[in-house]
Structure 1
Amino acid sequence: MMVKTRELCADFVVVGGGMAGLCAAVAAARNGAKTVIIQDRPMFGGNASSEIRMWICGAHGPNRKETGLLEELQLDNYYYNPELRFTIWDDVMYSFAIREPNLRVLLNSSVEKVEVENGKITSVTAWNLVEYTRYKVSGKLFSDCSGDGILRLSGAKFRQGREGRDEFDESHAPEVEDKKTMGNSILIQLRRTSAHRPFRAPEWAYHYTDETAPKRNLMPEGNNFWWMEFGGVKDTITDAEEIRDELYKIAYGVWEYIKNHPDGRGHGWELDWIGSLPGKRESIRFVGDHILCQKEVEAEGKFKDSVCYGGWTMDDHHPEAIYYPGAPTIFHPAPSPFGIPYRSLYSVNIDNLFFAGRQISTTHMALSSTRVMATTAMMGQAVGTAAAIALRHGELPRGVYERHLDELQQTLLDQDQFIPNIPRRVPELTLKARSDREILRDGWDRDWDDGEHGASFAAGESCSYTFDKPETVSGARLVFDSDLADLKRQRNVETSGEIREMPAKLPRAFRVEADVDGKNVVLANVEENHHRLVQLAWKPVQASAVRLVLETGWSAEPMRVFSFDVK
């Protein structure tokens, strides 16, 4: 059989479809770049997918939750998948990608070749394992969001393992550098049962006793078993199959021990699912124009080129993982939030290579915080947006830093990606009007440590901007309260029967209207809103006033609005 090679051409090519890659591809496509995303699995999501089922974690603390594309996607999940079924979550992510007209999706496709000319990647070739076809995808810009840094085949500089304490003056680093990493985890999920039947693990699994069982939390209630971890003393890329086999032995053995324990701890539970693919925490890290380190994280990352933020603790898992008798991880404090610089998201030596995800340019210690998926989703949105801006101006990634950084930051802020210490500029047209709700144009799209930045509305209430003379109005930007205290994670126990409702203060139906030539004109009417950020556009009108009318919410509670801009 002759193997076909199909050729595609794009402005921007994203390799990897986890949370970072998915957000990078959608951000670029929405901002006008013809984009191809290449994913080696049959679904998006990476560690968050139904294959692995890790939680999407991020910044700690009130009002710190990541918004932008991630919040939009998670609200889609509430709307279309209120029971939080993992397989439906896969399809919510699939829909998120394929509805973008500028985005071409290649699933089941694994990159095997990278071509480079004059320090730039010109194409990648991927093998599609269901079509038995190779795809050669040419592009102007590329982003590695694969997690394992497959585009290092380009010759891009990278690091692997832990830096020695003195290299970056990191107090939590080991005294001497080594090649050890954090390991991989396999997850299991349980369901309640009314009848106890002993569980029989396969003969090849481990069969634990009280003396040999791992020194971990061996109770079923509320346990997502993240500590079933192995591989940090091996190579999590080249030894991946060996690591998976060991984790299967551990997982089946752990459940057999819990389920059949004579104290009855597992009698009310049964095994519902076991992961087919371990989730990775660490493999390689690319080298960018800046390497983020522990001390910069601890100093709140106050970079002039911050484009996203972290806020998870420096959660450094021991390389020996489940075979280490002590605590499986050390939670070193980290501020929430801390800025992540744009210079850590593109290659120092391959001129057209971006990256997002766990393999960005950091030390091992900084990675222990930045690796979590809510943080990597924001990296992806930053990279995709930067790629679109670079293409618009004929720039490479470094050129965006040198000449278009303000445009990148303001575009991200406008598209609801919060950046610490970078204020969002409110449109001039909004500021020149008279307002009856001043707080809605203060440039803050969330409550913060200094207090509340939103206004509440009962059904039928409105707010307005009035101009001294008619002004041209062609659109509006609205940010609603989607309850950032709710982390919107999937559940440990999928079969609990719990239904997730849309956020109580989120408006469901609203309209924007204007006074045009003495008449009230409805400019936009939204009847089934389930998003936090809503961008509206209409044919330009000369308006003497513009009103937002909140009609109904998703609950009986008052609706809440953070920002109302007209432009």
Structure 2
Amino acid sequence: MKQLKTLLSCLCLLLFAATGASAQQHVFVETESFKDRGGWVIDQQSFPVIHSSYLMAHGMGRPVKDASTTVTFPKKGKYRVWVRTKDWAPFPKGPGRFTVTVGEQALTPVFGESGNDQWKWYDGGETTINSEEVKVALHDLTGFNGRCDAILFTDAAKFTPPNNVEALTAFRNKLLKLTDTPKDAGNYDLVVVGGGIAGTCAAISGARLGLKVALIQDRPVLGGNNSSEVRVHLMGDIDKNVYPKLGRIVREMDNGDPGNGNPDANEYGDARKIQIVKAEKNLALHLNTHVYKVEKSGDKITAVIGRDIATGQDYRFTGTYFSDCTGDGTVGYLAGADYRFGRESKAQTGESLAAEKPDSFTLGTSNLWASLPKDTESTFPETPWALQFSKEYHIDEPKSDWEWETGFGNFNTIYQAEQLRDHNLRAIYGNWSYLKNHKKEKYAKHQLAWVAYIGGKRESRRIIGDHVLTQMDIQDGKQYPDGCVTATWTIDLHFPNEKNSQYFQGQEFFASTKHIRVAPYTIPYRCLYSRNISNLFMAGRNISTTHVAFGSTRVMRTCGMMGEVVGYAAHVAKKNNTSPKGVYEKHLAELMGIIKD
């Protein structure tokens, strides 16, 4: 009997604990879903790492307007507030300070200055909720890239939200009622993932030949590195083509040559690119959608899953053919496509320009910037948390060009995209602070007009096709039967600038190059589809090349022509009910005929 009573008592305690747990109220707020983002911007570049987007106060040293939203609470009462953030540039406390306001109450803690550069939850203290709907706001204090991923309100006094990415993702999805079943976004002949120049041209090309096409882009604009978010001009010639009619769509995308880092966003033609795409009746455009999952059957992709970077809603795109135009080879990687990352060795490729040993060295990422002269003087604060410059070494320029580049094997361009971008920002702000405070005679009346917060990547994964383009193919001018895209850019492999390395060993942010000029040559069609995923095309910087050959194929007009060929090839594949490889093996003449005519 005593044992029975003990058992019943334990059961009662468990029941009480379970009842108490079920009564806990958690209110999870994604900052990227704020109704009014004010001056804050959405950053999704680290989605592969933190499985989320976040808001960032990118004010170039000037505090931005508050971001705010209305939060609905299940009941009134006391809640503990948790804020997920990081100190992106601790020294020992960094510059990204901000506060959170709940209703009329500004929470006491200042966030973003912890000295910890890892994403984690910070205790914001208790707040009293007196109504069902309450305004919540993020208040930037510095304009120096403070960031906030999420805010959690809980009435459980001893509850700490999970910080592990997998556990946090499950917790987030449960509270936001995000189901495991994505919304159906339709079935397509061709699903193009990546809305840079290559992907946009691929989508238009396929649509104009009658394919039902989806174009999925993870940003609000098209053009990738040629958009107003990154501002790199188009390079590579389209008037030296073996097949002169190839490149017509690239010409439509071309907004002239505004140079690199032009402070006028309109020079990059964002609206024009979107207008051209939306005019295509067979083309469905999905902006702000980050593809992070692939469904397969055997060696075929059957669907990709994309998440709206603001709402968190998942969408499922099914299709017959898919084209990876992400630059990072994201779709191929998720599907298990063969790929390479970094440099091959001379022994592997036989290339004279290859490395002595294989390694993970890649060309870097740029965040361009520009200042403009003003009528009056302005100030810029000292930046002890940034890279430090001196009379002996600083970069005496009012704006950047391509040389402002970080990476070179010191950062993984995919999984350390946030740290890489932040390193670029520390270099930009540190150098600008030096110019403003120590070269006033020249820069007193200059003001930062624009700094990119989206990184312009050059290199990451390269998906392997039935042909891997090499240095010898380029320099010998080999003309293969499936040679289609004419490339003209030099073999242009960047490396750390020697003087920059002397002052910032292992933290280089400035590049040099040696242009190895080549005669126009053609890229084989076999470089534009995966050798082991049977319905996957690719176009852009992630096509099948060695690292050395990539140095020539990576420029955007050339990548755009790759996209055009992919659209044509998808049309031929569908017409003949075959694979991308089948087009090469059995229908190459038909494809080349379209390219010619």
Which residue in 1 is equivalent to 2:408? 232
Which residue in 2 is equivalent to 1:395? 578
8 A Cα contact 2:365 2:407, kept in partner: yes
Q: CA offset at residue 173 of structure 1?
A: 1.3
Q: CA offset at residue 88 of structure 1?
A: 6.8
8 A Cα contact 1:230 1:247, kept in partner: yes
User: What is the identity, as a one-letter code, of the residue corresponding to 2:407?
Assistant: G
**TM-score, scaled to structure 1:** 0.67
CA distance in 2, matches of 1:156, 1:346: 10
Q: CA offset at residue 89 of structure 1?
A: 1.2
Which residue in 2 is equivalent to 1:287? 464
Match of 2:595 among 388, 400, 412: 412
Q: CA offset at residue 318 of structure 1?
A: 1.3
8 A Cα contact 1:39 1:108, kept in partner: yes
Match of 2:201 among 23, 33, 46: 23
8 A Cα contact 2:236 2:555, kept in partner: yes
Higher helix share: 2
Q: CA offset at residue 323 of structure 1?
A: 4.6
Deviations 1:68-102 (A, max 9, x none): 11112226999xxxx97437711111111111110
CA distance in 2, matches of 1:351, 1:24: 18
Which residue in 2 is equivalent to 1:385? 568
Which residue in 2 is equivalent to 1:9? 187
CA distance in 1, matches of 2:305, 2:498: 35
Q: CA offset at residue 172 of structure 1?
A: 1.2
Say whether residues 1:357 and 2:534 are aligned partners.
no
Deviations 1:205-229 (A, max 9, x none): 223112343xxx6333xx5332221
Say whether residues 1:39 and 2:214 are aligned partners.
no
Closer/same/farther in 2, CA of residues 202 and 87 from structure 1, 3 Å limit: farther
Which residue in 2 is equivalent to 1:188? 369
Closer/same/farther in 2, CA of residues 306 and 267 from structure 1, 3 Å limit: farther
Which residue in 2 is equivalent to 1:72? 252
Say whether residues 1:248 and 2:428 are aligned partners.
no
Match of 2:490 among 304, 308, 313: 313
Which residue in 2 is equivalent to 1:420? none
Match of 2:358 among 160, 165, 177: 177
Match of 2:531 among 311, 336, 348: 348
8 A Cα contact 1:26 1:97, kept in partner: yes
User: What is the identity, as a one-letter code, of the residue corresponding to 2:220?
Assistant: P
Paired residue secondary structure (2:328): coil
Aligned sequence identity (%): 39
User: What is the identity, as a one-letter code, of the residue corresponding to 1:89?
Assistant: G
User: What is the identity, as a one-letter code, of the residue corresponding to 2:329?
Assistant: G
Q: CA offset at residue 381 of structure 1?
A: 0.8
8 A Cα contact 1:59 1:336, kept in partner: no
Closer/same/farther in 2, CA of residues 160 and 375 from structure 1, 3 Å limit: same
Match of 1:328 among 502, 511, 525: 511
CA distance in 2, matches of 1:380, 1:201: 46
User: What is the identity, as a one-letter code, of the residue corresponding to 1:2?
Assistant: K
Closer/same/farther in 2, CA of residues 43 and 409 from structure 1, 3 Å limit: same
8 A Cα contact 1:56 1:372, kept in partner: yes
Match of 1:262 among 439, 462, 480: 439
Q: CA offset at residue 11 of structure 1?
A: 0.7
Match of 1:211 among 392, 397, 413: 392
User: What is the identity, as a one-letter code, of the residue corresponding to 1:94?
Assistant: I
Larger RCO (alpha carbons 8 Å, 6+ apart): 1
User: What is the identity, as a one-letter code, of the residue corresponding to 1:334?
Assistant: R
8 A Cα contact 2:240 2:520, kept in partner: no
CA distance in 2, matches of 1:255, 1:45: 28
8 A Cα contact 1:313 1:331, kept in partner: no
Closer/same/farther in 2, CA of residues 129 and 75 from structure 1, 3 Å limit: closer
CA distance in 2, matches of 1:250, 1:160: 26
CA distance in 2, matches of 1:260, 1:61: 47
Say whether residues 1:110 and 2:290 are aligned partners.
yes
Paired residue secondary structure (2:316): strand
Which residue in 1 is equivalent to 2:149? none
In structure 2, runs of 5+ residues without a counterpart are: 1-175, 503-507
Q: CA offset at residue 140 of structure 1?
A: 0.4
8 A Cα contact 1:219 1:265, kept in partner: no
8 A Cα contact 1:41 1:107, kept in partner: yes
Closer/same/farther in 2, CA of residues 175 and 61 from structure 1, 3 Å limit: farther
Paired residue secondary structure (1:197): coil
Closer/same/farther in 2, CA of residues 408 and 258 from structure 1, 3 Å limit: farther
CA distance in 1, matches of 2:341, 2:499: 21
Closer/same/farther in 2, CA of residues 201 and 89 from structure 1, 3 Å limit: farther
Closer/same/farther in 2, CA of residues 382 and 264 from structure 1, 3 Å limit: farther
CA distance in 2, matches of 1:106, 1:15: 10
RMSD: 2.7
Larger radius of gyration: 2
8 A Cα contact 2:234 2:254, kept in partner: no
Closer/same/farther in 2, CA of residues 63 and 351 from structure 1, 3 Å limit: closer
Paired residue secondary structure (2:492): strand
Closer/same/farther in 2, CA of residues 226 and 379 from structure 1, 3 Å limit: same
Closer/same/farther in 2, CA of residues 400 and 60 from structure 1, 3 Å limit: closer
User: What is the identity, as a one-letter code, of the residue corresponding to 2:346?
Assistant: R
Match of 1:50 among 199, 224, 228: 228
Closer/same/farther in 2, CA of residues 301 and 322 from structure 1, 3 Å limit: farther
Closer/same/farther in 2, CA of residues 208 and 108 from structure 1, 3 Å limit: same
Say whether residues 1:146 and 2:339 are aligned partners.
no
8 A Cα contact 2:226 2:268, kept in partner: no
User: What is the identity, as a one-letter code, of the residue corresponding to 1:232?
Assistant: F
8 A Cα contact 1:315 1:331, kept in partner: yes
Which residue in 2 is equivalent to 1:96? 276
Which residue in 1 is equivalent to 2:347? 166
8 A Cα contact 1:227 1:321, kept in partner: no
Paired residue secondary structure (2:457): coil
Q: CA offset at residue 329 of structure 1?
A: 2.8
Deviations 1:340-395 (A, max 9, x none): 11000000100000001111000000001111111111111111111112111111
Paired residue secondary structure (2:295): strand
Closer/same/farther in 2, CA of residues 369 and 118 from structure 1, 3 Å limit: same
Deviations 1:211-254 (A, max 9, x none): 343xxx6333xx53322211222211011111111111001122
In structure 1, runs of 5+ residues without a counterpart are: 415-567
8 A Cα contact 1:289 1:348, kept in partner: yes
**When the two structures are aligned, how many residues end up with a matched partner?**
405
Closer/same/farther in 2, CA of residues 340 and 349 from structure 1, 3 Å limit: same
Which residue in 2 is equivalent to 1:135? 315
Paired residue secondary structure (1:229): coil
Closer/same/farther in 2, CA of residues 304 and 225 from structure 1, 3 Å limit: same
8 A Cα contact 1:244 1:277, kept in partner: yes
Paired residue secondary structure (1:340): strand
Closer/same/farther in 2, CA of residues 60 and 131 from structure 1, 3 Å limit: closer
8 A Cα contact 2:475 2:519, kept in partner: no
CA distance in 1, matches of 2:211, 2:480: 27
Which residue in 2 is equivalent to 1:437? none
